[in-house]
Amino acid sequence: KYIFVESPEKLMDMVMKYNDDYKMLVNTRKAATEDINAAKSSYFPTVDLVSSYVQNNPSGSAKKSDYEDEFKTGINVSFNIFNGFRNSAQERKMVASYSQAKLQIDDFLIKTRYNIDSQLSRYAAAKETYSVAERSHTNALQLTELYEQEFQLGQKSLLDLISSRNEAFQAYVSMIDSKYSLY
């Protein structure tokens, strides 16, 4: 038998833990955060280590000493002072992307909370309907027994007895229908 979780907090925790759409949205937000950090890093100076090696092989009558092998090493340091506001535009674009990812998560959580609350209220209503239908069926069975006794005593007609059995059957159908609406 399936056990229906009736706690909205537990259901939200399960969604946040197991739902792939939610995980994807969280990862999108994390990626947007990293994009913002990358955009901000363009304001920092960059340092590049440059090295090269050239092996010279003189040919023919050339002297080897005229063409010595070369090894060069250098450091390039660049500062991003101004590049036509391209960096700030890139940063604003990444911040907008982060805001959009955050809003998508909020929207997903609001819709999920609404769906959970809606389903829980439908489940509670179905449980209550089943309880009422069960009581109605029990009452109809008792009424049918009473009508049978009164019929045997001659106080009720056959039509009354058949009508009470029909009411008991209708109550039974309603009870079964409400039981299946729980699932």
Residue-wise pLDDT for 115-125, tens only, equals 999 999 999 99
| Distance of alpha carbon 32 from alpha carbon 27, whole angstroms | 9
CA distance 52 to 72: 5
Q: What is the mean pLDDT of residues 65-82?
A: 80
pTM of the predicted model, to two decimals?
Answer: 0.62
24 or 70, which is more confident: 24
In the predicted structure, residue 161 carries a pLDDT above the cut 80:
yes
The whole-chain average pLDDT of the chain stands at 88
**Could you give the percent of the chain with pLDDT greater than 70?**
93
Tokens (6 digits) for 64? 């080897």
Average pLDDT estimate for 136-150: 94
Domains and CATH numbers, the chain: 8-44+85-181 (1.20.1600.10)
User: What percent of the chain stands above pLDDT 90?
Assistant: 58
Assess contact for 16 and 26: CB atoms under 8 A. Answer: no
Written as six digits, the tokens of 34 are 């990293």
Cβ distance 126 to 182 under 8 Å?
yes
Whether residue 144 has pLDDT greater than 90:
yes
Picking from 4, 3, 15, the residue whose alpha carbon sits closest to that of residue 114 is: 15
Instruction: Give the mean model confidence (pLDDT) for residues 154-182.
Output: 92
| Dist. CA 105–CA 145, nearest whole Å | 60
3-state secondary structure of 178: helix
Cα–Cα dist 52/178, whole Å = 82
Tokens at 62, concatenated: 């050339």
pLDDT greater at residue 84 or residue 15: 15
Nearest to 130 by CA among 88, 172, 170: 172
- Measure the CA–CA gap between 19 and 15, rounded to whole angstroms: 5
Q: Name the one residue in this structure whose structure tokens are 């949205």.
A: 25
Helix ranges (H only) for 19-157 are 20-41, 86-153
Mean pLDDT confidence for 17-41: 92
**pLDDT class of 130 with cuts at 50, 70, 90:** very high
